[in-house]
Every structure is written in structure tokens, then in C-alpha cells.
Amino acid sequence: MQGSVKYTYPEDGFYGNFGGAFIPELLQPCVEELRSQYLSIMADPSFLHQFEALLKDYVGRPTPLYYAHRLSKHYQSHIYLKREDLCHTGAHKVNNTIGQILVAQRLGKQRIIAETGAGQHGVATATVCALMGLECIVYMGEKDIVRQAPNVQRMKMLGAEVRPAKSGSKTLKDATNEAIRDWINNPKDTHYIIGSVVGPHPYPDMVSRFQSVISQEILWQLKEKTGNENPTRIIACVGGGSNAAGAYFHYLERDSVDLVSVEAGGLGVHSGKTAATSQIGTQGVIHGSMTLLMQTEDGQIVEPHSISAGLDYPGIGPMHAHLIQSKRAKVVAIEDDHAVEAAFLMAKLEGIIPALESSHALAALDTLDLEPNDINVINLSGRGDKDLATFMQKGEHE
């Protein structure tokens, strides 16, 4: 692959000041086994063959790059949608779970654990475990189990066990802690499939590589449609940052392409009810990685707020912390109601109901100076069926 190590690949696990593996000695055997083997496994031709075949025939890749005519007209600028919402299971998350399950098989693991917030990553993990016939345990905050009941049912139907995380604030960060503790206690037979570009090295790098299929496709799809591989900008929402990492990957070292990372502003960046990690967060360690996170003066991790469960995470992947600190990426925060508005606009103009997470990326169009000749690529990370209840409730007030 082309490009320097500036943004694309971490050096010793660090993206500039961020990343690394700040993990207890107890977790070292698990992480070290993965770290020492993931690159050679991923470079193996039989692995690549199987990965590509599953992405094509099972996930349904390549996903279309769709020119959104009416939306483009509305914004007076060219808008392309990368349709990750058309992936099997309804979001980009499955690109990563397919990759990791194949790694887990090659490491000889029979038991898979995962964390989930909204349930999207949990469903994507339960799906690939069913596909491969592996045992699957998904940790989910006790509060989220109640909030996201349909996804809990989907995971169960797919044969996964959903274990409530009862510690701390009983949400995504605690589900992640529980999964890590499970791994500490079951180092031999278990692989932990993390759902985003977060966690200790090598996860941010490994998950970015699996998701990089998104930008790999954008390259040739855009060339086919416009004669040029490079758009003016790529816009993606950032929870942990996996769909953004995937959409940016092959463009990271191409400085002419602007990267716009959209965080969840919640009720307002300074309202105390937000998930705008990079704006109100400070440097620290969360889930084994040095990054930007929301915390108190005492270093206790703060519970974020977003209307979108997939963006409701108090940290951000270390690659994104580095992209933002070095000003390679521009950050926009979008508030709850604005994201909902953008979802309704999209449904009306293009006949596509976007996930609430992706709606944040769409809403960012309102905040940018768009020129008529600009080529904007928006990563439409998921579909909105899972968010219908929220849309209906909010829609009544429109």
C-alpha cells in the first residue's frame, strides 16, 4: 500500500502521541498473541481470498457509491453517498467482524466475546459467529439492553448469549470493561472482537485495515464516476471511529482531500450532555489506549450523551485523536435534533432512511462552506430501521 506512516499505520502502536497498549499484565498474553500474528495472518493469500469472498457474497460488497441528485440540488454541491447501509446486517460493522472472525479461527479460538452499545456491533458479531459455528457472548450495558430491545432479540435469534454489564454506569464503556475482564479470565480459547478502532494496539490498526475496504472502493468508484479518485472532502460520523477510519484510509496521506469527522454534540457541546469527545475531552487512557476522552478533573471517566447509541462513547480511536490534534481532520459537532432533521430530509429527498449515527454526518453539510463544484463523499454508515422509534417520537414534533 502507498503512503508514509504519518497517519495510516501506527509506529510501535502509537499514532503520534496516541495509542499504545496500556493494559494490565494479565491481559498481555491475549493481546501479545494477537499482536504478534495479525499482520502475517492478514497477509496470507488464503485469508485474503476468504475475506474478499465473504465480503462479496455474504456482505454484498462492493457497496454502491450513489450520486444523490436531489440532495445535491438541495445543497448546491455534488454529494455522493457511500452506501454502507446496504451491507448485510445494515451497517459497516460487519466488515470488521468478518475479518476478525477469520483471524480468530486462524488463532484456533472457539469462543468469541464482544461488547456492544446500540447492539449493531453485537448483531454483526453474532452473525459471523453463527456463520462460522462459534460460541458467542455479547456484553451489553444493563441500561442498553432495555433501550435497544430489538437488537437484543436479533442477537438471541442468531444464537448469541447477551450478558448484562452491571458495573459502573451500565452502558457501553462498562460492557467493554466486562468483555476485557472476561478475556483476562479466558485467555486460551477466547478471541475478543472489538467493534471499533479503539482499545489496545493492535486493535485500532487491525480494525482500520478491515474497514479500509470502504475507501478502497471509493477510489475506483469515484474515478469511474468523475474521472478523479479524489473528492474535495470525505465526511463521516465518529463514535469510536471505525466507519470514518475505513472511509478515510486510502486518503489519509492525500492532503488535498479534506476529512470531516462528525461527533455527537448531544444537547450541546457545553451542555454537560454530549459525546463531543475531541472538543471537551482531554488526553488520557481508556480501554487500553492513550487518546482523547471525557473525564473529570480526577480522571474518572464521564458518561457521554447522544441520541444515537452508536456515538455514545466517552473516548475516540487513537488514530482520530492524532488526526484531530495534527489538524489533518476537521471536527464538527452535531446536536441531537439536527441529526434527526437531517434524517428526515434524506428520507424525503432520496428515499433512504439513514441510521441516527450516519445522520450526524449528513447534518454536517449544513455547517460546511460548500462550493458548487465540490465533490462531497458522505459515508452512510448504516440504515435507520433500528432508530424508527426515535424518529417517530421526534417526528411528531416536527
Partner 1 sequence: MNRLQALFKRKSGHILNIYVTAGYPGLHDTEPVVLALDKAGVDIVELGIPYSDPLADGETIQDSSQQALQNGMTLSLLFKQIADIRLQSQIPIVLMGYFNQMLQYGIPAFIKQCETVGVDGLIIPDLPVEIYQRDYASIFEASSLSMSFLITPQTPSHRIRTMDEASHGFIYMVSANATTGSNIQISTEYFDRIKDMELNNPRLIGFGIKDRQGYDQACNYAHGAIIGSAFIKYLASNGLDHIDRFVTNIRNQH
Ligand X SMILES: Cc1ncc(COP(=O)(O)O)c(C=O)c1O
Active site residues per annotation: 93, 115, 381
Among 1, 5, 11, 29, binds partner 1 (CB under 8 A): 29
Nearest to 319 by CA among 95, 4, 6, 18: 18
Rounded Cα–Cα distance for residues 59 and 171 (Å)? 28
Residue closer to ligand X (CB basis): 95 or 177: 95
Output the smallest distance, CB 15 to ligand X, in A: 16
Q: Taking the C-alpha atoms of 84, 85, 86 and 87 in order, what is their torsion angle to the nearest 10 degrees?
A: 60
Output the smallest distance, CB 29 to ligand X, in A: 26
| 299 lies in the site for partner 1, by CB under 8 A | yes
Residue closer to partner 1 (CB basis): 174 or 335: 174
Among 381, 387, 391, 394, binds ligand X (CB under 6 A): 381
| 16 lies in the site for partner 1, by CB under 8 A | no
Output the smallest distance, CB 66 to partner 1, in A: 41
Output the smallest distance, CB 195 to ligand X, in A: 7
Output the smallest distance, CB 195 to partner 1, in A: 17
Question: Is the Cβ–Cβ distance between 387 and 394 less than 8 Å?
Answer: no
Rounded Cα–Cα distance for residues 262 and 244 (Å)? 9
| 358 lies in the site for ligand X, by CB under 6 A | yes
Among 20, 239, 265, 318, binds ligand X (CB under 6 A): 239
| 53 lies in the site for partner 1, by CB under 8 A | no
Among 101, 118, 293, 375, binds ligand X (CB under 6 A): 118
Where helices occur in 44-141 by DSSP H, the ranges are 45-54, 69-75, 93-106, 120-132
Residue 122 exposure: Cα atoms within 13 Å on the Cβ side? 34
Question: Is the Cβ–Cβ distance between 266 and 306 less than 8 Å?
Answer: yes
Nearest to 363 by CA among 342, 344, 391, 333: 342
Rounded Cα–Cα distance for residues 82 and 193 (Å)? 25
Q: Which does 118 bind (CB under 5 to 8 A by kind): ligand X, partner 1, none?
A: ligand X
Rounded Cα–Cα distance for residues 383 and 91 (Å)? 7
Among 141, 164, 304, 310, binds ligand X (CB under 6 A): 310
Residues near partner 1, by CB under 8 A: 20-29, 167-169, 173-174, 177, 180-181, 184-185, 187, 282-288, 295, 297-301
